Amino acid sequence: MSVVVELHALELQGRHGVLEHERQTAQLFLYDIELELPEPPADELEGTVDYREVVALVRELSDGRQFQLLESLAAAVADVLLERFAQVVRVRVRVRKPEVDPGAPVEFAAASVRRERR
């Protein structure tokens, strides 16, 4: 049996984008994260993933690096989560960027990445 631990619309500021002004001024990014892992054997935090640690890892990555592509940012987040949490067998990360101007009104731009432990 497995469970999926989810964090949706995690709001963090970041300096990511192709354009210079996107890397100069922090903007909002929303992270949707799904972590699949075996069902914990007991009602104890040690058997699962601590949300606070997930948030800290994503924040550290976003603050420590700049990415041009949402795809690269999502992949880096997925990789660091798989690396940190040995019990996670599958991860899905979607990064949404609401403050985007593609030349027509849109709610957000996004990229999703899935990773699976082999």
pLDDT number for residue 118:
83
What residues are annotated to the active site?
97
Indicate whether 52 belongs to any domain. yes
* Cα–chain center distance at 76: 8
pLDDT number for residue 48:
94
Q: Name the residue range of residue 47's domain.
A: 35-67+80-85
pLDDT number for residue 114:
98
pLDDT along the chain (118 residues), means of 10: 97 96 95 97 94 98 97 98 97 96 93 95
Indicate whether 44 belongs to any domain. yes
Indicate whether 15 belongs to any domain. no
**CA-angle at 96, arms to 104 and 53, nearest 5°:** 165
Q: How far apart are CA 80 and CA 74, in angstroms?
A: 10
| Domain count within the chain | 1
Q: Report strand pairing: 27-38 vs 90-97.
A: antiparallel
pTM: 0.94
Residue 85's contacts (CB-CB under 8 Å, 6 or more residues apart) are 35, 37, 49
Q: How far apart are CA 49 and CA 53, in angstroms?
A: 8
pLDDT number for residue 101:
86
